[in-house]
């Protein structure tokens, strides 16, 4: 075959090869001078992600008003016809009055500031071809200016996921952060917290120590119930726990409270039907969620630990530093008017989830007992070397759980180290082979236990083997949920 130059072929394709590309939605740009219409004919878009939060800084609005007074409207608003918009979003039809002819796609801030600048007519550029893509356009317009809160951003992603069927990866690639697909997933996952005032205000606050979107995602992935996110975060902060430990402790206290809670009599109910009051006022306390639980004397808080240097789980990324309505659990106004007692806030956990959480706590106690009863083994150089390699490669979450068990053993050397990784490094650098084997044993149990607590997958052979070992070595009694896999 004849060649042209150094290895090049002289053959060329007859036609230009065109690669098939996925349509890329871009924010509309003004195409001309447009037309001038009365401001009464222009309506803001009901799907605008920023809603009434157009001006995070009031001074920005003052500057916009001053600019419109001096120079008028330099750039036309991009709009679509109301009829075209309603054809795509019929649920928004009631948002428009008979006077409205156009819906803003780009230019909400200018529309809002125009009346205060004395403008009665505005120039608009009608681009009806963008009527079906307003959700994507709002994200394009505002992400570049970082004008959206994490909740507004998450709502935009949710709409694209639901209305256009885009995956989280496709959304991330479209908006230029393809290496951070988790950003989309996390923003959507924390959307239920919009209805939880304390959590929402903490996330939107810029104060040091407030709840971040990453931490909120980690916590809600553990506790599931949006109402438990802030109590869990406060427990993490106060007791230096990670999200898994704090969430488990709070869920266990909630489950115990449900078992022992006494219905609160409503003033309208008769005194005869009311349950007898407890003689000991200190017998019951309130959980952070407002439910009753037994007092400290019954030992239900035995799972709490302190003194460990905790961090969030690996699900928390560094790229994101910054639903359905939730039950408030408060007084039901409708019930009070009809004389019926208010409904007590119920846990969002299913019976199966409650059973799994209780089983997790009992397995951890069994593991801790095995670590505590560990006897000094026959130290073999080859075994010690294998144990050292295992300790060096294991994950930080596994090390934290193993350190927790070890630090609760009397006279354990782990008590002198607040950082789990520092203790692991101390053991690896030492010459005590028996200690290294004990720590490696605790780490092996912790690794299997964390795998058993992972709800994202069904129990595999490794989990079932772990359960059987605890049954044999620690006399662990499996729950009915575990028994179906042990048959």
**SS3 letters across 103-172:** EEEECHHHHHHCHHHCCCEEEEEECHHHHHHHHHHHHHHHHCCCCCCHHHHHHHHHHHHHHCCCCHHHHH
What's the angle, vertex CA 246, arms to CA 241 and CA 251, rounded to 5? 170
CA atoms of 420 and 401, how far apart (whole Å): 9
CA atoms of 228 and 234, how far apart (whole Å): 10
Given CA atoms 424, 454, 375, 417 in this order, what sign does their dihedral have?
positive
Q: Which segments of 205-339 does DSSP mark as H helices, in order?
A: 213-223, 229-239, 243-260, 333-338
Q: How far is CA 276 from CA 131, 267, 271, 286, 290, in A?
A: 64, 15, 10, 19, 21
SS3 string, 423-449, reads: HHHHHHHCCCHHHHHHHHHHHHHHHHH
Each of the 487 residues of the chain gets a pLDDT tens digit; together they read: 455 555 554 555 555 555 444 444 455 655 556 788 898 999 888 888 777 677 766 777 888 888 888 888 888 888 899 988 888 888 888 888 888 999 988 888 888 889 888 888 998 888 888 788 888 877 877 676 656 788 888 988 898 898 888 888 888 887 776 567 888 899 999 999 999 989 998 998 877 788 999 999 999 988 888 998 999 998 888 877 888 888 888 888 877 776 665 454 444 433 433 444 444 434 333 333 333 343 333 333 333 333 333 334 434 444 444 433 333 334 343 333 333 433 434 556 778 888 888 899 899 999 999 999 887 667 778 888 888 898 999 888 899 999 989 998 877 889 888 889 999 999 999 888 888 899 999 999 999 999 998 887 889 999 999 999 999 999 999 998 899 899 8
The whole-model pTM stands at: 0.51
- Residue spans of the domains in the chain: they are 35-148, 197-260+285-295+302-338, 351-486
- Of residues 303, 302, 286, the one with CA closest to residue 294: 286
Phi, psi values for residue 191, rounded to 5°: -55, -35
**CB-based contacts of 357, cutoff 8 Å, min separation 6:** 248, 251, 252, 255, 349
Burial of residue 88 (number of CB atoms within 10 Å: 0-12, 13-18, 19+): middle
Q: How far is CA 263 from CA 170, 342, 345, in A?
A: 49, 10, 11
| Ramachandran sector of residue 376 (left: φ over 0; alpha: ψ -120 to 50; beta: rest) | beta
- 292 beta partners: 286
Contact 131, 84 (CB under 8 A): yes
Question: 1: which 2 tokens?
Answer: 């075959």
Q: Could you tell me the end-to-end alpha-carbon distance of the chain, in angstroms, rounded to an integer?
A: 69
In whole angstroms, what separates CA 129 from the centre of its chain? 35
Q: How far is CA 376 from CA 3, 213, 404, 434, in A?
A: 76, 46, 20, 6
CA atoms of 253 and 324, how far apart (whole Å): 25
Q: How far is CA 202 from CA 210, 228, 267, in A?
A: 5, 14, 35
Given CA atoms 454, 458, 463, 468 in this order, what sign does their dihedral have?
positive
Can you give the C-alpha Rg of the chain in angstroms?
30
Which residue matches tokens 């009434």? 52
Polymer length of the chain? 487
Question: 35: which 2 tokens?
Answer: 């037309």
CA atoms of 362 and 464, how far apart (whole Å): 16
Which overall architecture, per CATH, does domain 35-148 show?
A: Alpha-Beta Complex (3.90)
């Amino acid at each position: 075959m004849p060649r042209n130059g150094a290895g090049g072929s002289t053959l060329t394709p007859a036609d230009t090869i065109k690669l098939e590309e996925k349509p890329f939605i871009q924010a509309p740009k003004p195409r001309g001078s447009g037309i001038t219409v009365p401001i009464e004919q222009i309506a803001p878009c009901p799907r605008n992600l920023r809603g009434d939060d157009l001006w995070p800084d009031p001074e920005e609005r003052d500057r916009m008003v001053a600019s419109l007074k001096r120079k008028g409207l330099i750039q036309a608003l991009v709009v679509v016809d109301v009829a075209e918009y309603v054809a795509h979003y019929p649920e928004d039809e009631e948002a428009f009055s008979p006077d409205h002819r156009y819906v803003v796609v780009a230019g909400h801030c200018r529309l809002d500031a125009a009346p205060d600048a004395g403008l009665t007519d505005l120039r608009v550029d009608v681009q009806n071809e963008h009527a079906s893509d307003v959700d994507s356009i709002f994200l394009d317009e505002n992400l570049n200016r970082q004008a959206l809160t994490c909740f507004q951003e998450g709502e935009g992603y949710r709409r694209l996921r639901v209305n256009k069927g885009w995956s989280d990866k496709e959304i991330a690639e479209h908006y230029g952060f393809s290496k951070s697909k988790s950003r989309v997933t996390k923003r959507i996952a924390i959307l239920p917290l919009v209805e939880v005032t304390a959590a929402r205000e903490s996330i939107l606050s810029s104060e040091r120590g407030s709840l971040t979107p990453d931490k909120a995602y980690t916590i809600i992935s553990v506790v599931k119930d949006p109402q438990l996110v802030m109590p869990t975060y406060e427990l993490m902060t106060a007791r230096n726990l990670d999200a898994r430990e704090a969430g488990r402790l709070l869920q266990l206290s909630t489950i115990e409270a449900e078992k022992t809670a006494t219905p609160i009599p409503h003033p309208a109910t008769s005194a005869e039907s009311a349950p007898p009051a407890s003689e000991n006022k200190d017998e019951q306390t309130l959980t952070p969620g407002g439910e009753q639980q037994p007092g400290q004397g019954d030992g239900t808080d035995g799972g709490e630990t302190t003194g460990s240097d905790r961090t969030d789980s690996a699900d928390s990324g560094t790229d994101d530093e910054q639903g359905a309505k939730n039950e408030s659990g408060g007084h039901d106004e409708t019930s009070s008017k009809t004389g019926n007692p208010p409904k007590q806030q119920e846990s969002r956990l299913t019976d199966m989830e409650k059973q799994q959480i209780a089983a997790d706590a009992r397995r951890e106690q069994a593991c801790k007992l095995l670590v505590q009863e560990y006897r000094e083994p026959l130290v073999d150089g080859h075994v010690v070397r294998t144990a050292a390699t295992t300790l060096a490669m294991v994950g930080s979450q596994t090390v934290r759980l193993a350190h927790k068990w070890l630090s609760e053993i009397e006279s354990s050397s782990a008590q002198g180290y607040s950082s789990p990784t520092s203790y692991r490094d101390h053991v690896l650098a030492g010459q005590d082979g028996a200690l290294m084997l004990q720590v490696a044993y605790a780490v092996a149990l912790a690794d299997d236990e964390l795998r058993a607590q992972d709800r994202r997958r069904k129990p595999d052979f490794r989990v079932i083997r772990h359960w059987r070992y605890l049954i044999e070595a620690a006399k662990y009694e499996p729950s009915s949920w575990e028994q179906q896999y042990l048959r």
